Structure 1
Amino acid sequence: MWECVDFYPVSLTNDSALDMAAYGLGIKHVIKESWEAHGMDWRITWGYVGESDSAEQDLSKGWATIYNVRRTVVLDRKTETHLLHWPVEEVESLRYNAREFKEIELEPGSIVPLDIGTTTQSDTSRKESWIFATFEVDQDVLEAASETNDKYGCTTSSGATERGSLGPFGVVVLANGTLSELTPVYFYITKNASGGVSTHFCTDKLRSSLDYDGKFLLFLREWDLNPYDDEETYKKLLVDHSIVEGFAQGGRTVIASRVYPTKAIYENAKIFLFNNATRTRVKATVKIWQMAPAQIRPYPF
């Protein structure tokens, strides 16, 4: 069922907002549909993040779905076929206590904990994080790799445990110290028979919670890097107690997920970098902020 269908203009030349009635040169119209309800105010969108638990678990929790972070929506002028979704700039005002980790070398099969410090007594109820990570793949291995996989897909894979010569690699969030609970958000690079390269962007929820009801919880987005091989491979993650929103390549692809860890909560929620590829080395640079609560002021009537 399609819900909240919108037809609206976007600029071909800049990121400015347009009146819904705008038309003419330098403008392209796009149609947006949703399997979940969304709202649209020209360039800003928000919507429900659906649950991935069973209906019985939703009933036992007493709630279902949540709104995602408000996002700007502009045309991807590199492709002119995609929309870029990115958190509204006002969210950045909530960041504090930044920590940066530069050029961390990730060998094949490695996982590296990131020391993000301990929360103070007054902060023990808060564990929201804003993570910006860039990854540099060993170009020699990338060019020499002969392994091809035209049919790889996150939803048909074994998640972050399935290894190839060029992936997976990325960030593990909402993980406890023993890794009995963890949520990897990662890239997986594949080559096809003609030599082309595709990068898959995935969230693996198979081990997100020990309170697991048996559903197959993997999400998939992917894009072809060949036309844009001058771009860094990067992503932004917004992590709350029960939600992980991932934005890759400036918002060209986005995944929002609900997770309910039982061990990786509050001060026990850790962050790791990992490279589970069999051949390629990866260099990662990461900056992590804590997030303060939004100051909601009532609308003056």
Structure 2
Amino acid sequence: MENSSVRHVLKISYYRRHLDFYFIGKYASDSDQEKFIPDAKYTETYKDLRFDYGLYYASKSFFDYATNRRILWGWVEEHDSKQDSIDKGWAGLQTIPRKIWLDESGKQLIQWPIEELEKLRDQQISITGETLLSGSTVEVKGITASQADVEVLFELPDLQSAELLEPSEVDPQILSGDQYASRKGVIGPFGLQVLASKDQTERTTISFRIYRVVDRYICLMTSDPSRSSLRQGLTKPIYATVFDIDPNIKTISLRTLIDRSIIESFGDGGRACITSRVYPLLAIEKDAHLYVFNDGNQSVVISQLNAWSMKQAEFATES
């Protein structure tokens, strides 16, 4: 007999949209058959659960019995031209492996890079307790910004000052569109500018922006590659998602892994994940820069930032 406290996850790779969805639910017996009953139905809206809200598809998982964890790998396609792929001789790549587990609420999965990746960390730089005033930008120096692991914890101002939205406006595609993005924010956008050129003509922005909706607070997380490259003919969609935040918790975290053309970001401890693919012309190798920024009216504080250069992974070969 099925234990009613056990939760199951049904994963679906949607071929026509190249997106990975998942459903949390349970199995129930019906005559001689068992049926999976999801907690929520597929709505074709932003409310549907996804492993990643960026360029992420065809993921596969396995259970690692040695460490009692489930590990997920995903596929990231190219967003340059077909000819570029022909010239390179390959197309697409795997994301970093992530461990996944059920959130305490039971309503979603949490994802986080596996601990083994920390063995690739090299030079480190830290920033503690630095206030980001409205319109300020701070460069993170001392690491290789084209291949880095960045963890930052932001201390938020009083959330009562956040912009008020109508419930009908809560849609990440709407909020990341020109109409809303052009407005000066109150709490945010703030976050990271990665794979940026020195003059920031090229940059990919990963940001948070806080809103108030009736009696709750939400965070809009975006990964914006629209200015990531001076190259022409590239596909540069803005990826976004929204999630509720607890007003009693005064901080929000962001971890971003950067590897030349791929950017994987984990917001709020892995509750929201966005993967982007970018092809800068200027911000490559030693000419890539990393910045922390705040474009909102309210100041935010870098409670703690740690960033590392990342070494090349080593692969065992058969003798």
Band of TM-score, shorter chain? 0.7 to 0.9
**CA 1:292–1:216: 2 relative to 1, 3 Å:** closer
After TM superposition, the structure 1 = structure 2 runs for residues 70-109 of structure 1, keeping only pairs within 5 Å, are 70-77=97-104, 79-109=105-135
Task: Indicate the residue corresponding to 1:188 in structure 2.
Answer: 209
Kept in 2, the 8 Å contact 1:127–1:240? The answer is: yes
Task: Tell me whether 1:174 sits opposite 2:195 in the alignment.
Answer: yes
For 1:146 and 1:40, how far apart are their aligned partners in 2?
Answer: 39
Equivalent of residue 228 in structure 2, options 208, 216, 220: 208
Equivalent of residue 163 in structure 1, options 163, 176, 184: 184
Once the two structures are TM-superposed, the CA of residue 173 in structure 1 deviates from its matched residue by 0.6
Task: Indicate the residue corresponding to 1:282 in structure 2.
Answer: 300
Task: Tell me whether 1:143 sits opposite 2:152 in the alignment.
Answer: no
Q: 1:277-301 deviations in whole A, cap 9, x for unaligned? A: 1x2110012100111112211368x
* One-letter amino acid of the counterpart of residue 265, structure 1: I
Partner of 2:7, secondary structure, is strand
For 1:289 and 1:160, how far apart are their aligned partners in 2?
Answer: 31
Q: 1:33-88 deviations in whole A, cap 9, x for unaligned? A: 223322211211101112233545544554321100011111111x2111111111
TM-score (norm: length of structure 1): 0.80
Kept in 2, the 8 Å contact 1:154–1:200? The answer is: no
TM-score (norm: length of structure 2): 0.76
**CA 1:64–1:266: 2 relative to 1, 3 Å:** same
After TM superposition, the structure 1 = structure 2 runs for residues 23-62 of structure 1, keeping only pairs within 5 Å, are 24=3, 26-34=5-13, 35=18, 36-42=57-63, 43-55=70-82, 57-59=84-86, 61-62=88-89
Kept in 1, the 8 Å contact 2:225–2:237? The answer is: yes
Kept in 1, the 8 Å contact 2:155–2:250? The answer is: no
* One-letter amino acid of the counterpart of residue 188, structure 2: G
Partner of 1:98, secondary structure, is strand
- Report sequence identity in percent: 30
RMSD over equivalenced CA pairs, Å: 2.5
**CA 1:162–1:128: 2 relative to 1, 3 Å:** farther
Equivalent of residue 264 in structure 2, options 245, 262, 277: 245
Partner of 1:24, secondary structure, is coil
Q: How many pairs are equivalent?
A: 266
* One-letter amino acid of the counterpart of residue 24, structure 1: N
More strand by share: 2
* One-letter amino acid of the counterpart of residue 282, structure 1: V
Equivalent of residue 90 in structure 2, options 55, 58, 63: 63
* One-letter amino acid of the counterpart of residue 281, structure 1: S
For 1:185 and 1:160, how far apart are their aligned partners in 2?
Answer: 13
